[in-house]
Amino acid sequence: MNKADILAHLPYSKPFLFVDDLQEIDENGVKGSYTFDAGLDFYKGHFKDNPVTPGVILTETMAQIGLVCLGIYLSGTAEGGMPGHVMLTSTAIDFMKPVFPGEKVTVVAEKVYFRFKKLNCNVQMLNEAGDVVCKGTIAGMVTNKMNA
């Protein structure tokens, strides 16, 4: 599977697609980027008159690039494999810096293990200055069904 195949296989669309581009992907990890559109609806309420990207959205962005793209790649490149869906099962994230509307972030994920259909990754998000804005562990199950 190449990068375009993976992006085409993502089950998200606007306003909940948080992947613009993949720079690197192989069996051990993935690197991708996303620019937060300042017009995203949640900025109106988080926070009032003071927009900051919510931690859950940063987590979702890390999951879409670091877990879902890698899970699709790993399941799609396995022998006789079909690119699967990835169901999020756990997250443990620390947040270091705020991400403001319009900022571009890069997500780097390293596979810890992919066994018995469970993918566990160490994931970091960096801002354009190269500072780590958040990092942690994200895991999910690669399934054939969208909502098992």
Residues in contact with other proteins by the rule CB under 8 A: 89-90, 113, 115-118, 139-141
Query: Which two structure tokens, joined as six digits, stand for 117?
Result: 């259909």
Q: How far is the CB of 77 from other proteins (least distance, A)?
A: 18
Instruction: Provide, rounded to whole angstroms, the least separation between the CB of residue 23 and other proteins.
Output: 28
Nearer to other proteins, 48 or 115 (CB): 115
Distance from CA of residue 103 to its chain's centroid? 16
Q: 4 or 148: whose CB is closer to other proteins?
A: 148
Q: How far is CA 15 from the centre of its chain?
A: 15
Select from 1, 6, 11 the least CA-distant residue to 85: 11
85 in catalytic set: no
- CA dist., res. 32 & res. 107, Å (int): 5
Instruction: Tell me which of 3, 46, 104, 118 is the catalytic residue.
Output: 46
Can you read off the two tokens belonging to residue 76? 């799609």
Q: How far is the CB of 116 from other proteins (least distance, A)?
A: 5
- On whether the CB atoms of residues 78 and 119 are closer than 8 A, the answer is no
| Catalytic positions | 46
